[in-house]
Amino acid sequence: MTQAATLTLTLQPVAGRHVFVPPEPALQLRRAVQPESEVLERRRVDGNREGDRPLLSPPVPTVVPHRLGVAVGVAIAATVGTTLYQSYTSPLYKSTFELVPVAQRSQTSGTATATTEIRPEVDQATLIQVLRSQQVLLPAVRDLRAYNINLSPAALAQSLEIVPLADGRLEVRYRHRSERVAQMVSRQLAQTYVDYGDRCRLDACHALQQVRADLTEATGQVARLEQAIAQFQARPDAQNLSHRADTLTRRTAEFMRYLTQTEQELKLAQQRYQVIQTQLSFADANRILQQQADYQALLQALHQTEGQIATTLTQAQPDAQTLQALYQRHQLLSGQMNQQVAIALEQFLLAQFPELAADPETLPPELSQIEQAFGLAHQVNLLSARQRAIAPIHQAMQADKLRLAELLQYQSKLETQLVVQRRILQESQQQHARLQQEISERRIVWRVAGA
């Protein structure tokens, strides 16, 4: 005698998870007419063997929760046929379903992005051994215990048969004396095998996780550096850095040469003044000039003008009219100072040589040295004022040059880091694409036939 039952399994999303929602099985039984004595005898034999069956729970719950990976989709429908093979000794129910390898999608990047489907090559003999192994069956065994179906992985594998079909497909068959157990085990095995395919165990999958982390890190670093560079370039002191640095370097060198020349001339004038002053027995000429109020006022004005000229020359684009006005003022002050030196010299000569008032033609023999001493004292004062005006400006230019160099160094550092991070990002993207291609070619993801 043969009894047949058909059950349709449907996988639907419920509250963010995927569960099987099995409808009530519709059984269509075809019974053969038998003598009443044979029926009574078979019932007595079956009743004696009922204790051999596993302890089963009450009717199957209407909602059976299961885990389901993303790669499977949101709905899987399968038809599990349960056939009762009835012999005179032991009835068995067979539940079957078919696993179909799913084609993987791979994206290739380049001038254009294309998506292609890759069907994995299935080593059916090796794969059947894996699907019958304790490691793969253990999750199904654990989940079945929630429905009072207590099977060991070995007992489950003993009644499990996996038959290879064409195109890498596999037919999974399970037999049991209980129709309910056969159906529940088939459902759970289908879910377990689908979940097993969703969990990638290739070395490339583990590497892909690390590459994704590197990709996320590199993407964040590139964004952070691009933002830092944009903020830096928006600063007022960071505008036209290269041009300003070149101009300042050139101007600083010019000032350095001018300052060096001034210091050399000042040193030489001081030496000559000391020599001429030792040859004279009267008062110091420079001290006489320092006592002249008008001369000192003009010297201070000249010192300020020298500083203004130097400051204007430090600008990236000095104003020509401003410079011309300053040069004219400098020339005027220089002329007035020369007049004050001549007045101071004349006053000194009249005080030192009273006879000159009566006879201006009678010149003292030291006149030439005296005039030279006053001239050298005046030159020392002029060079000293120029040196005092240029030196601090040159120091400020050196500080500006150092600050611009630091800004350029910081900008260069940011740009170098950005280049490195972009290269890392590009390498991570390429490695990510290679690993995805490798996984698509080697990974096997299952779906249940009919889904």
What integer best gives the mean pLDDT of the chain? 76
Mean pLDDT for the stretch of residues 365-373: 85
pLDDT of residue 281: 74
Could you tell me how far CA 101 lies from the centroid of its own chain?
38
Instruction: Name the packing angle between helices 320-352 and 367-442 (round to 10°).
Output: 150
Residue type, 311: T
pLDDT of residue 442: 57
> CA-CA distance, 272 to 301, in Å (whole number)?
26
Reported as a single tens digit per residue, the pLDDT across 398-415 is: 999 999 999 999 999 999
335 Cβ contact partners less than 8 Å away, ≥ 6 residues apart: none
374-410 residues labelled b (16+ CB within 10 A) or e (exposed): bbbbbbbbbbbbbbebbeebbeebeebbeebeebeee
Instruction: Name the packing angle between helices 241-278 and 293-313 (round to 10°).
Output: 150
> CA-CA distance, 432 to 428, in Å (whole number)?
6
- Confirm if 181 and 56 have CB atoms less than 8 A apart: yes
pLDDT of residue 261: 94
> CA-CA distance, 369 to 284, in Å (whole number)?
12
What size, in residues, is the chain? Answer: 451
- For 215, other C-beta atoms within 10 Å of its C-beta total 18
Bridge-based pairing of strands 64-65 and 160-164 is: unpaired
Reported as a single tens digit per residue, the pLDDT across 3-33 is: 333 333 333 333 333 333 333 333 333 344 4
> CA-CA distance, 376 to 196, in Å (whole number)?
102
- The H or E element that residue 43 is part of is helix 36-49
Mean pLDDT for the stretch of residues 263-283: 88
pLDDT of residue 301: 94
Q: Which own/partner pairs from 402-408 qualify as long-range (CB within 8 Å, at least 24 positions apart)?
A: 404/241, 404/244, 404/245, 404/248, 405/245, 407/237, 407/238, 407/241, 408/241, 408/242, 408/245
- Confirm if 122 and 168 have CB atoms less than 8 A apart: yes
- Confirm if 197 and 439 have CB atoms less than 8 A apart: no
Is it the case that residue 267 has pLDDT exceeding 90? yes
pLDDT of residue 4: 32
Percent of the residues in the chain that have a pLDDT greater than 90, as a whole number: 35
pLDDT of residue 277: 86
Quick one: how many helices (H) and strands (E) in the chain? Answer: 12, 11
More confident residue, 446 or 210: 210
Q: Which range is least confidently modeled, 92-106, 298-312, 385-399?
A: 92-106
> Can you read off the two tokens belonging to residue 156?
């489950």
Percent of the residues in the chain that have a pLDDT greater than 70, as a whole number: 70
Q: Which range is least confidently modeled, 89-93, 252-256, 405-409, 418-422?
A: 89-93
More confident residue, 381 or 283: 381
Given pLDDT bands bounded at 50, 70 and 90, which one contains residue 160?
very high
pLDDT of residue 231: 94
Reported as a single tens digit per residue, the pLDDT across 171-188 is: 999 999 988 999 999 999
Is it the case that residue 68 has pLDDT exceeding 50? no
* DSSP of 363-407: --TTHHHHHHHHHHHHHHHHHHHHHHHHHHHHHHHHHHHHHHHHH
Mean pLDDT for the stretch of residues 395-399: 91
